[in-house]
């Protein structure tokens, strides 16, 4: 992100998708640091529309956005999810691309990264194509671009490392019709997670999102509308990129 014009601090607007309990946005440093609370099931994964909180600004042309996720939790210790999202419009079933991190507080699975997108209205939001990333949890373990770390971490506890929070970064670069998602931890290099070509136009909604990812809904059990996710976003950067 060395090239381009830095457009943060940047006035942000908050909203909630879906018929859910309203979330909360606390701006700690204008345009840079935010604590965001959100409710809802999930942003469209296996569903045709989204639920959750979105804090956004309008952006045009090519741009690059990154943010550090210092912490993310939810009340039920399920897999709360947060990250960066780019949307064509503010309809819950509209086209979008997002780069997220999932904080798995319950035992078993590892924290996860995911590049996700919806390519047509009312379509299910799905992760990108798989790509192997070796060595996150030790020799012989595998990750992929939709679930960052191997989902089999619980089988390799002796090889696991401490959770990377508070030094987790997510990023999306828009160049033309191509949206590329990245992750970074600590002082490491940016790792490409995947990309997608998606025609959403040039005048877009871009920013941060939080969902409680309320698990009971996925398992067809009664939904708990009080499940709240809290994410600490830090060091937001939004840059217009010159051709």
In the chain, domain spans = 5-240
Give the rounded distance of the alpha carbon of 118 from its chain centre: 14
**If you average pLDDT over every residue of the chain, what do you get?**
77
CATH value of 5-240 in 2.60.120.200, 3.20.19.10, 3.40.50.10470, 2.60.200.20:
2.60.120.200
With beta carbons less than 8 A apart as the criterion, state whether 32 and 10 touch: no
Phi/psi for 178 (5° steps) reads -100, 130
pLDDT of 149: 37
First-to-last alpha carbon distance for the chain, in angstroms, is 13
Choose among 58, 54, 42, 65: nearest CA to 14: 54
Token code pair at residue 27 = 């701006």
Token code pair at residue 71 = 């912490």
Token code pair at residue 64 = 């690059």
pLDDT in tens, 43-82: 655 567 888 999 999 999 999 999 999 998 887 766 788 9
Helix (H) or strand (E) holding 83: strand 79-87
Choose among 54, 61, 110: nearest CA to 84: 54
Phi/psi for 208 (5° steps) reads -110, 150
pLDDT of 137: 39
pLDDT in tens, 77-131: 667 889 999 999 999 989 999 998 887 665 445 567 888 888 888 776 655 433 3
């Amino acid at each position: 992100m060395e090239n381009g014009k830095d457009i943060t601090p940047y006035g942000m607007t908050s909203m909630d998708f879906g018929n859910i309990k309203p979330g909360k946005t606390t701006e700690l440093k204008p345009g840079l640091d935010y604590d965001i609370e959100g409710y809802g099931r999930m942003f469209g994964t296996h569903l045709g529309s989204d639920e959750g909180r979105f804090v956004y600004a309008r952006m045009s042309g090519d741009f690059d956005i990154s943010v550090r996720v210092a912490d993310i939790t939810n009340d039920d210790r399920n897999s709360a999810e947060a990250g960066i999202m780019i949307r064509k419009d503010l309809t819950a079933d509209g086209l979008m691309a997002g780069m997220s991190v999932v904080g798995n507080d319950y035992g078993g699975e590892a924290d996860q990264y995911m590049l996700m997108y919806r390519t047509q209205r009312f379509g299910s939001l799905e992760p990108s194509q798989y790509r192997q990333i070796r060595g996150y949890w030790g020799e012989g373990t595998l990750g992929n671009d939709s679930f960052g770390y191997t989902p089999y971490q619980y089988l390799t506890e002796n090889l696991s490392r401490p959770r990377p929070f508070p030094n987790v970064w997510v990023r999306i670069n828009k160049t033309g019709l191509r949206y590329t998602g990245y992750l970074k931890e600590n002082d490491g290099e940016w790792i490409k997670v995947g990309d997608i070509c998606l025609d959403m136009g040039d005048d877009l909604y871009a920013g941060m999102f939080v969902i409680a990812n309320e698990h009971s809904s996925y398992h067809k059990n009664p939904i708990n509308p009080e499940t709240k996710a809290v994410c600490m976003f830090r060091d937001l950067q939004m840059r217009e990129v010159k051709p």
